[in-house]
Structure 1
Amino acid sequence: MGKKIKLGILGGGNNSLIGVLHRVASSMFDKFELVGGVFNTDFNESIKFAEDIGINTGRVYKSLDEFIEKENNLPEEERVKVVSVLTPNFLHFPMAKQLLENGFHVICEKPLTTTLEEAKILKETSDKTGKVFAVTYTYTGYPMVRQMREMITSGKLGNIQKIDVQYYQGWINPIIHDKEQRNSIWRLDPEKSGISCCLGDIGTHAYDMIEYVTGMEVKKILADLNYLYKDNEMDIDGTVLLRMDNQVKGVLRASQIATGEENNFTVKIYGDKAGLKWEQENPNYLYLLEENKPLQVLKPGHAYNSEFSLSGTKLPPGHPEGIFDSMGNIYHGVAKAILGEDGFDGEYPTITDGLRGMNFIEKAVESHKKGNVWISIDN
């Protein structure tokens, strides 16, 4: 086996859930080696974290500037090649741009940036440098989501005629009703999170999923958002009507005040021949619905699945795979791109997907503020 791609991480230290997810995912397929980064704004905490996970503290830096300077002074075969940006939203743009301009490939958490204009600049920078840039819309890595995409592409559903995507959580419900709490978390601070909380955090996952599995682009949206309190500047719930190509219509529903819900992300696509339904909380089941036929349940690892689905299946049938595996498949796709290896279309979400996600967020907020009117999504 060849040498592993050296990986750096910005953020994701201490008890960060997203940090654990990325570290485990990067270790799958034996393509990456995590060698250092800036894990915390507090250098001492960053060092302690590196010691806890067994990283050489000599590759832990006080700032991004120091990281770039010292890594680029190392011999080519030793330096970090790709960096995962796992910081709060407002840091995505300046960090990713600086990394690209200094020769690093980038894996960035979503949303890509806090504004559409920043996303456009980042896309131009990425195109100019030619570096691989992935945006971690994690759920696209699930084998049965990839199976869904392949079945739709092959025409199994016929002409698409209805799209219904729901992403419901309840985590913010106990926070939003307390004035002190809702004014203290970064996700409800537009300076740190951008102009949207709910759509920016989970609605953008749903939006990307629609375009990913159908291969169609959303053309127009009409949004009705919920803020609950006048002193809260950020949406915490919303419904968005969609108009796609070929007169296809749909609805996207996202909420962080769906009391008792955990991570209820459900994708339903209906054609004139059949329908498909997938639920993130039960990701190993893809339901095929056809007129006058029994409900069919497709599961990962079986020969009836597509080659693309099987390429992301690591275990024999009956052994559940989950979100770590999904993110691992995305990292695997990034590794193939960096190494110039052949792969499948759609193995990792690109910066273009991130740009369209920011376009969706801004247009949805605009639609709501203008009185719930139809707004076009620019290409």
Structure 2
Amino acid sequence: MSNKVRVAVVGYGHLGRWHAQKADQFDTCELVAIVESYSANQEKAKQAHANTKIVNDISEVMGEIDAAVVVTPTSTHYELVKMLLENNKHVFCEKPLCSTVEEANSLKENLKEGLVLQVGHSERCHQAWELLNKDIGDIKGAATLKIERVAAFKGRATDVDVVQDLMIHDLDLTRFLLQRKVKSVRAYGHKIRTGKWDQVNAVLNFEDGSVAMIASGRNHVREVRSLEITHDNGCFFVDLFRNKIATATDTDYGEGEYVKEFDYEKRDHLLIEQENFYNSILNNKAPMVGYEDGLKAIELVQAVLTSLETGKEVEV
């Protein structure tokens, strides 16, 4: 391989357009093709990327690429990723990696040594998590984590429920931040607009006594994205929508707490993810979010959905 990764972006919908735009910005990759089957989206792709091939199917350019960025509906992920891996292509797949744990387990058979498979759990890219460690240190003791991610109905991602669409971000974040093993999941929800779960609240119990409470919804009048962690070192609150942080930590000043409030840097998560993807390929390094992370997120999604359907607590 040269010093450039030849890449195709598969899917030119809402998110695919952003990914194609990012791919055009790197010296480490060449955007060879955009794969899109809908004629209206094809025209938009031609206007925005005049020097890039626009094709109907990935098979048309399989011999011309080293890697692909998969930004298609979740139901198509498994077959696309499987085909790409079978053809020895590196893959960046938007979350979730696929629809079921069984599909994810099957993909491992196709993940040959030297191939990069990265999953788009972009919420890990917030600067806030670096500041969490810097400001109040490691998360100690049994922690309580509260996450809320709700928005108005936007008509997108209706092929999946809110757990696969939104909550999966926070199921992954919970694992990423706490670095602890989930013991069980209990979930409650409602089907409001799409015939699928549109409002879900999940409680994750960890083996060390930590608890995570996650609320996800896509039928609200306001958009909220917030996270709060309370543990032995203090409390850390993040408004992910407005890029604001509030911390309270024990200090050397005597009794009481010292509270700080400040903004954090807004980052281009898709740009960070793609940069990591191409660098991982060129330098033969593990990606920032790999196969095992994608699998664990799907396992938690499935546990939440099982709890919703059965009305029972589910061991993980």
Query: What TM-score range do you get, normalising by the shorter chain?
Result: 0.7 to 0.9
Q: 2: CA distance between counterparts of 1:228 and 1:299? A: 35
Following TM superposition, by how much is the alpha carbon of 1:186 offset from its aligned partner in structure 2, in angstroms?
Answer: 7.4
Counterparts of 1:293 and 1:202, CA distance in 2:
34
Deviation (angstroms), 1:103: 1.2
Which residue number corresponds to residue 44 of structure 2?
Answer: 49
Alignment of 1:1-379 (within 5 A): 3-12=3-12, 16-27=13-24, 30-42=27-39, 46=42, 48-56=43-51, 59-68=53-62, 72=63, 79-126=64-111, 128-148=112-132, 154-155=137-138, 157-171=139-153, 187-189=157-159, 193=160, 197-228=161-192, 233-258=195-220, 260-262=221-223, 264-283=224-243, 285-291=244-250, 292-297=256-261, 299-300=263-264, 321-322=266-267, 325-340=268-283, 348-371=288-311, 373-377=312-316
Query: Partners in 1 of 2:270 and 2:142 — Cα distance?
Result: 28
Check 1:279–1:29 CA distance in 2 against 1; reply closer, same or farther (3 A cut).
farther
User: 1:163 is paired with a residue of what secondary structure?
Assistant: strand
Q: 1:296 to 1:237 in 2, by over 3 A?
A: same
Query: How many residues are matched?
Result: 310
**CA–CA separation in structure 1 for the residues paired with 2:235 and 2:191:** 34
Q: 1:298 to 1:30 in 2, by over 3 A?
A: farther
Deviations 1:327-377 (A, max 9, x none): 2112222222111267xx8x6222222212221222112112212x21122
Structure 1 position 188, deviation (Å): 3.9
Matched-pair contact (CA < 8 Å) for 1:36–1:56: no
The answer to whether the Cα contact below 8 Å between 2:10 and 2:16 also exists between their aligned partners in 1 is no
User: How far is the alpha carbon of 1:150 from its aligned partner?
Assistant: 6.4
Secondary structure of the equivalent of 2:200? strand
Letter in 2 for 1:251: M
Assess if the C-alpha contact under 8 Å between 1:37 and 1:60 holds in 2: yes
CA change 1:299–1:45 in 2 (3 A) is closer
SS at match of 2:97: coil
**CA shift for structure 1 position 28:** 5.2
Amino acid corresponding to residue 332 of structure 1 in structure 2: E
CA contact (8 A) 1:111 1:358 kept: yes
1:256–1:102: structure 2 CA closer, same or farther, 3 Å change rule? same
Give structure 1 stretches of 5+ with no counterpart: 73-78, 173-184, 301-319
- Which has more helix, going by share of residues? 1
SS of alignment partner, residue 147 of structure 1: helix
Q: Which amino acid aligns with 1:166?
A: E
- Following TM superposition, by how much is the alpha carbon of 1:50 offset from its aligned partner in structure 2, in angstroms? 3.9
Please report the TM-score for the alignment, with normalisation by the length of structure 2: 0.88
Q: Give the secondary structure class of the aligned counterpart of 1:118.
A: helix
Compute the displacement of 1:298 (Å).
5.1
Cα separation, partners in 2 of 1:146 and 1:123, compared to 1, 3 Å: farther
- Going from structure 1 to structure 2, the CA distance change for 1:121 and 1:239 (only over 3 Å counts) comes to same
Q: How far is 1:30 from its partner?
A: 3.6
Q: Is the 8 A contact 2:46 2:54 kept in 1?
A: no
Q: Partners of 2:302 and 2:207 in 1: how far apart?
A: 21
- 1:307 is aligned to none
The two structures have a TM-score, normalised by structure 1, of 0.74
Q: Which has the higher strand share?
A: 2
Structure 2 residues not aligned, in runs of 5+:
251-255
